Amino acid sequence: MSYPPLEELAARVERFQEILRAENVDGVLLLQGADQVYFCGTTQSAHLYIPARGRALFLVRRSSSRIDPALVPAEVLPLRKPEEIPGLLAARGLAAPAVLGMELDVLPVNLFRRYEKIFPGEIVDCSPQIRKLRAVKSAYEIGLLKESAAMMDGVFAQIPGMLKAGMSELALAARVEAAARCAGHMGLIRVRGFNQEFFWGCLLAGPSGGVSSYFDGPLGGPGITPTFPFGVGRHIIAPGDPVMVDYVGVANGYQVDMTRVFALGHLPPDLLEAHNTSVAIQNALAAAARPGVAGGELYDLALEMAQRAGLAEHFMGYGDQVKFVAHGVGLELNELPVLARGVKEKLQAGMVVAIEPKFIFPGRGAVGVENTFVVREGGLERLTCFPDEVVII
Amino acid sequence: MSYPPLEELAARVERFQEILRAENVDGVLLLQGADQVYFCGTTQSAHLYIPARGRALFLVRRSSSRIDPALVPAEVLPLRKPEEIPGLLAARGLAAPAVLGMELDVLPVNLFRRYEKIFPGEIVDCSPQIRKLRAVKSAYEIGLLKESAAMMDGVFAQIPGMLKAGMSELALAARVEAAARCAGHMGLIRVRGFNQEFFWGCLLAGPSGGVSSYFDGPLGGPGITPTFPFGVGRHIIAPGDPVMVDYVGVANGYQVDMTRVFALGHLPPDLLEAHNTSVAIQNALAAAARPGVAGGELYDLALEMAQRAGLAEHFMGYGDQVKFVAHGVGLELNELPVLARGVKEKLQAGMVVAIEPKFIFPGRGAVGVENTFVVREGGLERLTCFPDEVVII
């Protein structure tokens, strides 16, 4: 199992400590898996305390057997319960934080109230700073993203051999998921936030592609039960159905998001044309995107092209349209930046975005492409390389 | 897709309203998927408002196209943002709640602060009441649990045909997961609470079974990457390895939890004996459990039997031991009741428990059985029926 170089992790902690000092936060206490992975390369049932100055503490309840102290940029100590933390800080000469950062975007109220008793100072939300820091990936992280991308290119290349007429979406999903697992997919897809119920992604054939859902994306899907009304359904795949496979690939913590359309025999010409419009929009965004360009500008460009193609009504949903065309990916599926209406924040080199211009046709299906790109100084570098065109089998 | 009978859902709402009135809560606003599924049979990006008296409101942001008003025990209305809720209540003659219940065990702080502005009254935690209500299953729910159990019995019956020497845990997991998906497994396994990262369960062969993790269960597993250090690893399965398959089955929202041990050729006699002790403990608990028996009594009985067998050190973990032997299952994996040290709460008819006495041998593996049972007036009824003994292939 590959582990990030210690100097890489230490540099992440140092950059975050600079931000904390600039914002007058005395220390942060991080509980969430993805954030611990970012700073320590792994996660346990643990608290990661990062002071604005000084050495971080990785306080592990269970299982300390899983942490090699030589691999993390922190002193590793056992912890039974958070009430012990102030004593541990004091014993190490670390001041009690007057302003403590916590992940208030995900930390539940009941837990927070427990920490309020332990830390009588002010507790502020440090999640915006973490999300901003994590949005710009290092060369090491981009290397991991390339591993996930290569894995998914390999999985998508197997799909034409799996797809047969009369097969259900669910049966195809089972085969795609098994191929991804065999290729080293870790399974868990982290989506930051409350109630973000997600499993693999959307494999939607024909009318299933036109079904929207609770999930804030262009696709939804019927699901196979009303108790989880999202994603893969039971539609029997027939010739002419667009079979949209929008699955998230994650081999080593880092996610790539990728979508292709397959079809048995043929695809109706208007759907094929809409797919080609999606590819054209993606390519136009990829040509226009570079450091300094605002997310909102790129969204506007995508929307204009959809309008010119007469497809505005179908763009990024039908009825339940979402107002973005690309989102950041990394340890979580909903990272920064977002290429969405009105976004003023500018792209920076090292950001990673999944661009997904899609068109939804109720009762008929969804078409469009999605690829994951790194923002480089000169423009975008594409990570997922399987051809964009509809694959007719 | 099967949908719960409306009268069943209406009865759940009514029972909950009785509890709210008894506890002087004026209404609850439920956001989490599992809780919406319990009362409405499905979930969306929505708010479910249940007043102590009067008709519930299902306020749907997206996608209202997915809710059939005839199937839910609530008035269905569109909602763009929660700030609109007080106006909607007033327009329906519902008083603004002076005491509002919310799911404070899962609701993040930032979201909560938004609701505090919308509802100037007191906001209290209603999750204990919901969890207690949900712990006792109806005949309809038990029917769904039986569907999940039959699905998993069918999947486990396929494992002997899948397991070959030289196969990795991950390759076996891919096949088991594909079989489960083909059989209608919905994939998502809901675990209540913050940061409960989980995927399928634990399929652990040989030494992987001895690796503990952040997860509060007897098993952990190495995972395939330090970024998700849980569950299935890459151990190559050899003759004599205990291959422990502890997977959660969920066909229709309702989970059964089930564990069996497989082995190629043979299993070392002491591990086989420990497995048989696990079966004996399970059977003793199943014989002793009935309405009125406290969860702690049953845990003590299990621990005594493990001690008498000389296996106390290996019981429910090694080093990182957990202090329970069974947990409730249903829409979520960590439901009530818990059969744990010191638990005074008594079993009631209709509760559903997964009993999992397990023994962990570091460096060698894990053995033990797990089955899901319904508490009936006369004792336990078993739902997962595949034979308990180690399957030698």
Residue B23 to chain A, least CA–CA distance (Å):
19
**B175-204: pLDDT as tens digits:** 999 999 999 999 999 999 999 999 999 999
pLDDT > 90? residue A178? yes
Nearest chain A residue to B39 by CA distance is: A227
CA angle B14, B20, B23 (to 5 degrees): 145
Neighbours of B387 (CB within 10 A): 12
Query: Residue type for B316, please?
Result: M
pLDDT > 70? residue B368? yes
CA dist A94 and A101 (Å) reads 15
List the one residue out of A261, A295, A256, A262 whose CA is nearest residue A279: A261
**A184-227: pLDDT as tens digits:** 999 999 999 999 999 999 999 999 999 999 999 999 999 999 99
Contact B174 A182 (CB under 8 A): yes
Residue A383 to chain B, least CA–CA distance (Å):
21
Residue B270, both tokens? 């002491």
- Kindly provide the ipTM of the predicted complex, given to two decimals: 0.97
Q: Is the separation of the CB atoms in B152 and B249 below 8 Å?
A: yes
pLDDT > 80? residue A369? yes
- Could you give the 3-state DSSP secondary structure of residue B240? coil
Residues of chain B contacting residue A186, judged by C-beta atoms under 8 Å apart? 199, 223-225, 227-228
pLDDT > 90? residue B213? yes
CA dist A313 and B363 (Å) reads 59
Q: Given the structure tokens 């997310």, which residue do they identify?
A: A295
Residues of chain A contacting residue B172, judged by C-beta atoms under 8 Å apart? none
pLDDT > 70? residue B142? yes
pLDDT for A2 equals 79
**Burial of A350 (C-beta count, 10 Å sphere; 0-12/13-18/19+):** middle
pLDDT for A1 equals 58
CA dist A201 and A231 (Å) reads 6
User: Where in chain A is CATH 3.40.350.10?
Assistant: 6-134
Mean pLDDT of all residues belonging to chain B: 97
Max CA pair span of chain A: 71
User: Where in chain B is CATH 3.90.230.10?
Assistant: 136-392
**B267-285: pLDDT as tens digits:** 999 999 999 999 999 999 9
Query: Residue type for B270, please?
Result: D
* B6-134 CATH fold: Creatine Amidinohydrolase; Chain A, domain 1 (3.40.350)
CA dist B374 and B393 (Å) reads 31
**A9-22: pLDDT as tens digits:** 999 999 999 999 99
Asked, as a colleague might, if the bond just before A242 is cis with ω within 30 of 0, I would say no
- Which strand (E) or helix (H) includes residue A10? helix A6-22
Model confidence at B1, pLDDT cuts 50, 70, 90, reads low
pLDDT > 70? residue B256? yes
pLDDT > 80? residue B319? yes
Q: Across residues B329-354, what is the average pLDDT?
A: 98
CA dist A245 and A358 (Å) reads 12
Sign of CA dihedral A321, A322, A325, A326: negative
CA dist A302 and A357 (Å) reads 7
pLDDT for B234 equals 97
The residue count of chain B comes to 393
CA dist A349 and A336 (Å) reads 13
Q: Across residues B307-311, what is the average pLDDT?
A: 98
Q: Across residues A238-265, what is the average pLDDT?
A: 98
What is the DSSP-derived secondary structure letter of residue A56?
A: E
Contact A108 B111 (CB under 8 A): no
**Start-end of H helices in B246-392:** 269-288, 295-308
Neighbours of B165 (CB within 10 A): 12
Contact A63 B212 (CB under 8 A): yes
CA dist A372 and A328 (Å) reads 9
CA dist B346 and B129 (Å) reads 16
Sign of CA dihedral B37, B38, B41, B46: negative
Residues of chain A contacting residue B222, judged by C-beta atoms under 8 Å apart? 1
CA angle B215, B42, B122 (to 5 degrees): 75
Q: What is the CATH number of domain B136-392?
A: 3.90.230.10
Residues of chain A contacting residue B110, judged by C-beta atoms under 8 Å apart? 104-105, 125, 127
pLDDT > 70? residue B124? yes
Q: Is the separation of the CB atoms in B299 and B324 below 8 Å?
A: yes
**Burial of A201 (C-beta count, 10 Å sphere; 0-12/13-18/19+):** buried
Q: Is the separation of the CB atoms in B347 and B336 below 8 Å?
A: no
Determine the distance from the C-alpha atom of residue B371 to the mean position of all C-alpha atoms in its chain, rounded to a whole number: 13
pLDDT for A92 equals 93
Q: Across residues A144-150, what is the average pLDDT?
A: 98
**A373-390: pLDDT as tens digits:** 999 999 999 999 999 999
Determine the distance from the C-alpha atom of residue B264 to the mean position of all C-alpha atoms in its chain, rounded to a whole number: 30
Q: Across residues A109-128, what is the average pLDDT?
A: 98
pLDDT for B2 equals 79
Contact A170 B187 (CB under 8 A): no
Q: What residue ranges in A230-377 does DSSP mark as E strands? A: 243-250, 255-263, 324-328, 335-340, 352-355, 358-361, 365-368, 371-376
